Amino acid sequence: MSLSESEPLVDVRDLCVRFGRQSVLREINLQIPRGQTLAVIGESGCGKTVLMKSIIGLVRPTEGEVLFDGHNLAELNDKELTRQRVRFGFVFQNAALFDSMSVGQNVAFPLREHSDYSTDEVREIVLARLAEVGLPESIVTKKPAELSGGMRKRVGLARALAINPEIMLYDEPTTGLDPIMSDVINELILRTRSRHLVTSIVVTHDMRTAQKVADRIVMLYPLSRVGDDEPQMIYDGDPSEIMTAKDERVTQFVRGEAGKRLLEMRENNGHQTPQTTS
């Protein structure tokens, strides 16, 4: 049975993820209400993408649990997990289109895999989703290699929207794009939320994206630089307040200030044991 509208769609409880001896996430607690757009920020290696993959069940918790609409994903069998994943739309960092397929075939792929629509119905949905992201019908027969980076991102968004997901996951949606195209993607994320009433999670290091599209921002910090008694999530709040956050690590990241980080790197290098030659 689904959770009520007042309860979170995603409920992350004491989530820990380790790969071998390396801990990536530690004691993450995060509740995401229905309809909210959450941005997850932080520097490379802090666990943003691992958190996203845990939410969709691609990475299983080492400890803790992830509930989606009341279902503990780690307890579902493959068939049940697949049924839940159809409720997600995933926009990958590099679009992740199938190179051997045309644009139309890429957008149609989830429909052919997870629905019984007729060929005419599939084509109608494909064209509607492409139009929604500002792409013309003439692009349908083109291959991904013939498209610009921004166009590939928009095709990836059209494919994710094809099955009318309840939750959209965006992994670095503006990486590699110029400022104008980045803002086009940001506008499409906002438009998608208003048209489809979806819950959205945006993993990004682009503060313009985070502040423009999100209702809420959380920031993760790399465990290698977090004390044993410190939380890994160092900010959870309103985008309008992040510039004046009390934690200096947050404001340095938001403003792109490298001073203290460079000092840390120099100190770490200075403590390295010199290599000897035999």
Spatial CA neighbour of 239 closest among 213, 205, 203: 213
Q: Cα–Cα distance between 174 and 98 in angstroms, integer?
A: 20
**In the predicted model, is pLDDT for residue 189 greater than 60?**
yes
Summarised one tens digit per residue, pLDDT across range 143-188 is 999 998 889 999 999 999 998 899 999 999 988 888 998 999 999 9
Cβ–Cβ < 8 Å for 54, 9: no
Summarised one tens digit per residue, pLDDT across range 202-256 is 999 899 999 999 999 999 999 989 888 899 999 999 999 999 999 999 999 998 8
**In the predicted model, is pLDDT for residue 47 greater than 50?**
yes
CA 70 from chain centre, in angstroms, equals 21
pLDDT of residue 82: 85
Determine phi and psi for 228, rounding to 5 degrees.
-60, -30
Model pTM? 0.85
Q: Cα–Cα distance between 224 and 228 in angstroms, integer?
A: 10
What is the arrangement of strands in the sheet containing 63-68, beginning at the earlier edge strand? 22-32, 10-19, 63-68, 71-72
Summarised one tens digit per residue, pLDDT across range 124-146 is 999 999 999 999 999 999 999 99
Spatial CA neighbour of 169 closest among 97, 93, 110: 93
Q: Cα–Cα distance between 10 and 33 in angstroms, integer?
A: 7
Residue 78: band (very low, low, confident or very high) from pLDDT cuts 50, 70, 90: confident
**In the predicted model, is pLDDT for residue 273 greater than 50?**
no
What average pLDDT is seen over the chain? Answer: 88
Spatial CA neighbour of 26 closest among 270, 230, 253: 230
Question: In the Cβ-directed half-sphere of 161, how many Cα atoms lie within 13 Å?
Answer: 25
Cβ–Cβ < 8 Å for 215, 37: yes
DSSP string covering the chain: -PPPTTS-SEEEEEEEEEETTEEEEEEEEEEE-TT-EEEEE--TTSSHHHHHHHHTTSS--SEEEEEETTEEGGGS-HHHHHHHHTTEEEE-TT----TTS-HHHHHHHHHHHH----HHHHHHHHHHHHHHTT--GGGTT--GGGS-HHHHHHHHHHHHHTT--SEEEEESTTTT--HHHHHHHHHHHHHHHHHH--EEEEE-S-HHHHHHH-SEEEEE--GGGS-TTS-SEEEEE-GGGGGG-S-HHHHHHHHT--HHHHHHHHHHHHTSPPP---
**In the predicted model, is pLDDT for residue 1 greater than 60?**
no
**In the predicted model, is pLDDT for residue 95 greater than 80?**
no
pLDDT of residue 3: 41
pLDDT of residue 194: 85
**In the predicted model, is pLDDT for residue 276 greater than 50?**
no
